[in-house]
């Protein structure tokens, strides 16, 4: 394994509540640096799988995959998972919470039952601004202890992108707030074990909570904008990806690229974290709501492109889908626009056979091999790129597909060169 930099965590002990896309790589990041880490999760199947060295996450630390990291940390005794929080709270001083907002109340209630004087509770969940002060503190103080007097309380937003978690925990500047300066300093000391980047102190919970939500919404707005641009450039007959590449040569322009929609847990939900407080304050957020709706409509637009290219009625058509993850090179299918586009195609009567070797969840439209997806298909729609998929085996594709009419490819990920696809005998459509 690659060498570890950062402060030595030897002798530190921590509990991480929530072992999902944030919590597991964070727990292992501490373990790799010498901490003894106990991961806590209510999912018994997940706990059992992790304790046997199994994870489906697609994360790497340098060239080491997360499954190997997990197995190494289990073997050396620096990580284990449990569903019994009470078992470990008595012996742990550093408690990190990474659960989603819907599980935050239950996690804090469990922590309160075992909270001790001088414990540090560090919240890393994405929340509605004001949640730590108005919601988390009262739950934790049911312990009979007072935040800032009897125990330390801090909030630090997570800023990782799935697939880059280890690198970004280490190298992304980390913003930290506390109920008082001592709590903030304690949290910064703990986080310095993992991060080599700047630790940025903030004046309040609310500043960090709001900045996290704004960070995600800014991406949602940027993506909505380029999805609108894509419709314009398509109508104009020019390539959106080339257009954005040219625009981004301007030093003050940083456009993202369009795709089949915005998925995952963070970005699609970001506006929903802001609107409760905005509604309470009477702030309409008209631009942000419009951007969210633009992105929410993209899967329907993609489904429409596929239906337009069908050479037969939808009820007699088959389409092969490559990738159902919420983004490229991910196993995360939460709120995946690809899954939504598939649902819309099936609702129209199209037979869909999807292939994605990374996503572990079962769907009745997912097939075990790419050949099963292609067999008899009238077209292909690429919704997410994955490793170990050959997207350029055009001869194999045509040998398996229905070629009574020219087969088509709808490319939402900018994989294909038009001239090469058309030379291979396919119709290419893009976003």
Distance from C-alpha of 272 to C-alpha of 424, rounded to nearest angstrom: 45
pLDDT at 4 (0 to 100) = 52
* Domain spans in the chain, listed from the N-terminal domain onward: 13-203, 212-296, 298-430
Architecture in CATH for domain 298-430: 3-Layer(aba) Sandwich (3.40)
174: number of CA atoms within 13 Å, CB side?
28
Distance from C-alpha of 13 to C-alpha of 30, rounded to nearest angstrom: 9
pTM value?
Answer: 0.89
Distance from C-alpha of 337 to C-alpha of 264, rounded to nearest angstrom: 9
Distance from C-alpha of 344 to C-alpha of 360, rounded to nearest angstrom: 22
pLDDT at 10 (0 to 100) = 77
What tens digit of pLDDT does each residue of 221-252 get? 999 999 999 999 999 999 999 999 999 999 99
Pairing of strands 120-123, 152-155: parallel
Distance from C-alpha of 319 to C-alpha of 377, rounded to nearest angstrom: 5
What residues in the chain have per-residue pLDDT under 50? 1-3, 5-6
Tokens of 423: 């030379």
Angle subtended by helix axes 205-236 and 286-296, to nearest 10:
50
What tens digit of pLDDT does each residue of 306-317 get? 999 999 999 999
Q: Does domain 212-296 have CATH number 1.10.1040.10?
A: yes
3-state secondary structure the chain: CCCCCCCCCCCCEEEEECCCCCHHHHHHHHHHCCCEEEEECCCHHHHHHHHCCCCCCCCEECCEEHHHHHHHHHHCCCEEEECCHHHHHCCCCEEEECCCHHHHHHHHHHHHHHCCCCCEEEECCCCCCCHHHHHHHHHHHHHCCCECCCEEEEECCCCCCCCCHHHHHHHCCEEEEECCHHHHHHHHHHHCCCCCCCEEECCCHHHHHHHHHHHHHHHHHHHHHHHHHHHHHHHHCCCHHHHHHHHCCCCCCCCCCCCCCCCCCCHHHHHHHHHHHHHHHCCCCHHHHHHHHHHHCHHHHHHHHHHHHCCCCHHHCEEEEECCCCCCCCCCCCCCHHHHHHHHHHHCCCEEEEECCCCCCCCCCECCCHHHHHCCCCEEEECCCCCCCCCCCHHHHHHHCCCCCCCEEEECCCCCCHHHHHHCCCEEEEC
pLDDT at 404 (0 to 100) = 95
Instruction: Say which CATH topology domain 13-203 has.
Output: Rossmann fold (3.40.50)
Domain 212-296 and domain 298-430 have a common topology: no
């Amino acid at each position: 394994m690659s060498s570890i930099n950062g402060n030595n965590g030897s002798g530190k002990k921590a509990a991480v509540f929530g072992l999902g896309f944030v919590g597991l790589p964070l727990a292992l990041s501490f373990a790799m640096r010498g901490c003894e880490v106990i991961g806590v999760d209510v999912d018994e199947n997940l706990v059992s799988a992790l304790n046997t060295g199994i994870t489906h996450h697609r994360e790497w630390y340098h060239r080491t995959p997360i499954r190997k990291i997990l197995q190494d940390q289990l073997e050396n005794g620096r990580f284990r998972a449990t569903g019994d929080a009470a078992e470990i709270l008595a012996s742990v001083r550093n408690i990190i919470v990474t659960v989603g907002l819907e599980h935050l109340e239950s996690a804090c209630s469990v922590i309160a039952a075992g909270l001790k004087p001088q414990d540090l509770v560090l919240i890393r969940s994405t929340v509605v601004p004001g949640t730590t002060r108005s919601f988390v503190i009262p739950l934790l103080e049911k312990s009979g202890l007072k935040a800032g007097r009897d125990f330390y309380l801090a909030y630090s937003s997570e800023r990782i992108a799935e697939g880059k978690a280890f690198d970004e925990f280490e190298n992304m500047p980390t913003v930290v707030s506390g109920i008082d300066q001592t709590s903030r300093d304690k949290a910064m000391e703990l986080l310095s074990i993992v991060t080599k980047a700047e630790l940025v102190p903030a004046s309040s919970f609310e500043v960090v909570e709001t900045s996290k939500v704004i960070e995600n919404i800014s991406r949602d707005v940027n993506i909505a904008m380029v999805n609108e641009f894509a419709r314009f450039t398509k109508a104009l007959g020019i390539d959106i990806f080339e257009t954005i590449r040219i625009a981004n040569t301007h030093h003050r322009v940083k456009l993202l690229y369009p795709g089949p929609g915005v998925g995952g847990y963070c970005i699609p939900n970001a506006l929903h974290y802001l609107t409760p407080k905005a509604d309470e304050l009477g702030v309409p957020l008209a631009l942000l709501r419009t951007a969210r709706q633009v992105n929410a409509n993209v899967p329907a637009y993609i489904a429409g492109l596929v239906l337009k290219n069908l050479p037969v009625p939808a009820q007699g058509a088959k389409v092969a889908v490559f990738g159902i993850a919420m983004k490229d090179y991910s196993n995360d299918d939460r709120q995946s626009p690809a899954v939504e586009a598939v649902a819309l195609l099936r609702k129209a009567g199209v037979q869909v056979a999807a292939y994605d070797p990374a996503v572990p969840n079962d769907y009745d439209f997912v097939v075990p091999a790419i050949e099963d997806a292609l067999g008899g298909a009238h077209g292909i729609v690429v919704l997410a790129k994955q490793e170990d998929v050959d997207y350029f085996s055009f001869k194999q594709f045509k040998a398996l597909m229905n070629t009574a009419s020219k087969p088509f490819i709808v490319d939402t990920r900018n994989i294909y060169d038009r001239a090469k696809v058309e030379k291979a005998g396919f119709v290419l459509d893009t976003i």
